[in-house]
């Protein structure tokens, strides 16, 4: 029975690097993910003054900037370059963090990054005393930021495109000169669990905050750990100036990266056990177990790990607004099921590393399924998969598309990918671990 250790959480790794970099003194981060995206966040924080010292035991010592991210000198015309690569998380979190710093910063990306939206976050930052200019396309990176820090007060942010906008503001808010209240605007929120991860890291690094919900004409403090969603107009975050406290911080295993192996246990020939996952994790992608269970998978959770056994899956209707990164995995698993699967409430997936709705549909169609794209999701009707055939799939330059396509090997398809190396964005050792699967 294959057993796979889950890699460290990418979401927790980004936030741990940022929090440790903003602290006064040195922190030790253990279990940090080694991937392209995390390297971009480290490089950007180093450009703002943090120092990183890898240790022989694999941990990372971080010397922080004491709440003062440093940019270039505007009088000299130089700017600190924040090269975010293709990491949307790095870009969205660090635009806000840089705005809370001092000096001038240029934020530049690669690939599709200069087409990915950032305008909602910029709009929320402008009332707080920051100057931000678009250097190419309005509403997208690259950006030029000139700042003397955030002034505090009030602002509002919509989470219809991404929860990362709010996470960036929350990470930056303790550096403001005065208390800052962040209201949630818009019509709906996406990916709330990622905000809970941000709050968890703030809490671990000693940053005080309050989450309040509206009750009539008054606001009352809520237990953020029990919130399952944020209601626009009915939730606000009250932050005050505070210091990040240096910490020993351990990064937990990644449910997103584990999803491919959990699905492999359900659709493959042998049970698969994944170790290193917290069953009580705040990660939204822990929902992979609930989704597989709803489709009929047999699952065993024990202290030794999470085991999924080969199962006859049945299609079902799924609202995946809280776990959009699972859509490529679930869509491929649905191709192995009997009956139709409908995935809804993930329109924002069109703004990822690829248009994930169209890209997932194309790969599932290549394997033999009948797929209809919806405005906010996918309808998947399984057909006999093209077993014992060589099928060319595109990764679309998207790590999650590449890893999910690997699952088709378990149907006997000879999977050929145009860019298997793109998995290094989040899971550099994926192919090595995938070789342990029984095909």
368: left (phi over 0), alpha (psi -120 to 50) or beta: left
Tokens representing 111 are 């690939």
241 vs 101, 123, 213, 244, 260, CA distance in Å? Answer: 13, 22, 21, 10, 41
When pLDDT is averaged across residues 127-146 and rounded to a whole number, the result is 97
Closest CA to 381 of 364, 359, 400: 364
When pLDDT is averaged across residues 234-242 and rounded to a whole number, the result is 97
Identify the CATH number of the domain defined by range 7-207: 3.65.10.10
Contact 351, 119 (CB under 8 A): no
**Considering the domain 255-434, what is its CATH architecture?**
Alpha-beta prism (3.65)
How does residue 218 score in pLDDT terms, banded at 50, 70 and 90?
Answer: very high
Mean pLDDT for all residues in the chain: 95
pTM of the model: 0.93
Ordered by start, the domain boundaries in the chain are 7-207, 255-434
Tokens representing 236 are 């606000």
Q: Which residues of 142-170 are buried (b: 16+ CB within 10 A; e: fewer)?
A: bbebbbebbebeebbbbbbbbbbbbbbbb
| 179 has pLDDT over 90 | yes
| 190 has pLDDT over 90 | no
What's the pLDDT tens digit per position in 57-111?
999 999 999 999 999 998 887 999 999 999 999 999 999 999 999 999 999 999 8
Contact 382, 369 (CB under 8 A): yes
On the question of a common fold for 7-207 and 255-434, the answer reads yes
When pLDDT is averaged across residues 355-368 and rounded to a whole number, the result is 95
| 352 has pLDDT over 80 | no
Q: Which residues belong to the active site?
A: 325
């Amino acid at each position: 029975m294959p057993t796979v250790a889950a890699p460290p959480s990418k979401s927790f790794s980004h936030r741990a690097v940022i929090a440790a970099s903003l602290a006064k003194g040195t922190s030790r981060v253990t279990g940090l993910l080694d991937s392209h995206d995390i390297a971009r966040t480290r490089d950007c924080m180093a450009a703002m003054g943090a120092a990183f010292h890898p240790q022989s035991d694999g941990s990372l010592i971080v010397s922080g900037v004491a709440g003062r991210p440093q940019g270039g000198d505007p009088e000299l015309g130089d700017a600190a370059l924040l090269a975010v690569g293709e990491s949307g998380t790095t870009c969205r979190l660090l635009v806000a963090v840089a705005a809370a710093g001092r000096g001038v910063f240029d934020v530049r990306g690669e690939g599709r990054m200069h087409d990915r939206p950032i305008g909602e976050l910029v709009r929320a930052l402008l009332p707080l005393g920051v100057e931000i200019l678009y250097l190419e396309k309005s509403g997208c990176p690259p950006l030029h930021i000139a700042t003397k820090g955030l002034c505090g007060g009030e602002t509002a942010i919509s989470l219809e495109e991404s929860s990362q906008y709010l996470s960036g503001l929350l990470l930056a808010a303790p550096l403001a000169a005065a208390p800052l209240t962040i209201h949630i605007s818009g019509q709906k929120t996406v990916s709330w669990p990622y905000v809970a991860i941000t709050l968890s890291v703030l809490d671990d690094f000693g940053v005080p905050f309050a989450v309040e919900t509206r009750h009539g004409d008054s606001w009352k403090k809520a237990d953020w750990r029990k919130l399952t969603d944020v209601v626009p107009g009915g939730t606000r975050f009250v932050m005050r100036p505070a210091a990040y406290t240096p910490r020993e911080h351990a990064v937990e295993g990644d449910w997103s990266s584990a999803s491919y192996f959990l699905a492999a246990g359900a659709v493959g020939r042998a049970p698969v056990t994944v170790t290193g996952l917290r069953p009580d994790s705040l990660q939204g992608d822990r929902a992979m177990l609930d989704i597989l269970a709803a489709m009929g998978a047999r699952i065993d959770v024990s202290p030794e790990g999470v085991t999924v056994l080969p199962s006859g899956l049945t299609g079902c209707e799924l609202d995946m607004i809280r776990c959009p990164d699972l859509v490529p995995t679930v869509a491929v698993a649905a191709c192995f099921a009997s009956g139709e699967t409908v995935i809804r409430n993930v329109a924002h997936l069109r703004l990822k590393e690829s248009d994930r709705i169209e890209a997932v549909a194309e790969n599932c169609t290549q394997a033999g399924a009948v797929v209809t794209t919806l405005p906010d999701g996918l309808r998947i009707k399984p057909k006999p998969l093209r077993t014992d055939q060589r099928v060319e799939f595109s990764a679309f330059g998207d790590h999650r598309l590449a890893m999910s396509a690997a699952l088709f090997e378990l149907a006997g398809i000879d999977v050929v990918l145009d860019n298997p190396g793109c998995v290094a964005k989040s899971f550099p050792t994926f192919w090595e671990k995938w070789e342990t699967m029984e095909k």
